[in-house]
Amino acid sequence: MLIRDTSEGYGLISRLFHWLMAVVIVAMFILGVWMVGLDYYSPYYNSAPDIHRSVGMILLFALILRWLWRIGNPKPTDEDLSPLERKASWGVHWGFYVLLFALLVSGYLISTADGDPISVFGWFDVPSVVQARGLETPAGKIHRILAYATIALAVVHSLAALKHHFFDKSTVLTRMWSGPNQSSEKDRHE
């Protein structure tokens, strides 16, 4: 099992980043939509936002690590994509990085506008670097728009992966699911 990416496929670290972050992002979206409807008397009124903030900060750190991992690894070949599909793929992937970074920063600004740090599950605090009362309102509007944009892009991304897998019979999805095929891995080591 390969840890690093190769031209034949994604290694274990990239695949773990991809799938774990995908699950967490969808779960965070669902939690966010659900928690904005909570009233003051709900038993989750405080705990749901605390979980959302904590996971958001971990996701921000994971996004930065994922980006560093990506620039330090070779990109698997995309020869089975048309030139237009290659450009779209590049745009979608870097679009995710920009959207997610902006989404997570806006969430951070919502939570720290009053100068208080974010406690990440009580393990450590992320300090407030911008204290600006009232910033939470525009940051909240931006956060909501970016959350929906991220989910929309994720749907497009998923549909494209399924199209490539089932209709084009390409290896795009299998490379992200199971990594480089074993015969390619053996050939590289011989």
Q: Which of 126, 131, 138, 129 is CA-nearest to residue 114?
A: 131
Distance, CA of 49 to CA of 44 (rounded, Å): 8
Q: Give the count of beta carbons closer than 10 Å to the beta carbon of residue 86.
A: 13
Per-residue pLDDT band at 22 (split at 50, 70, 90): very high
Span 115-134, average pLDDT: 96
Domains of the chain: 12-182 (1.20.950.20)
Q: Can you give the pLDDT at residue 182?
A: 59
Q: Does residue 53 contact residue 109 with C-beta atoms inside 8 Å?
A: no
117: phi > 0 → left, psi -120 to 50 → alpha, else beta; which? beta
pLDDT in tens, 135-154: 999 999 999 999 999 999 99
Cβ pair 53, 118 in contact under 8 A: yes
pLDDT of residue 189: 44
- Model pLDDT, residue 179: 83
Residue-wise pLDDT tens digits, 45-103: 999 999 999 999 999 999 999 999 999 999 888 888 899 999 999 999 999 999 999 99
Q: What is the mean pLDDT of the chain?
A: 92
Q: State residue 33's pLDDT score.
A: 97
Collapsed DSSP state (helix, strand, coil) of residue 181: coil
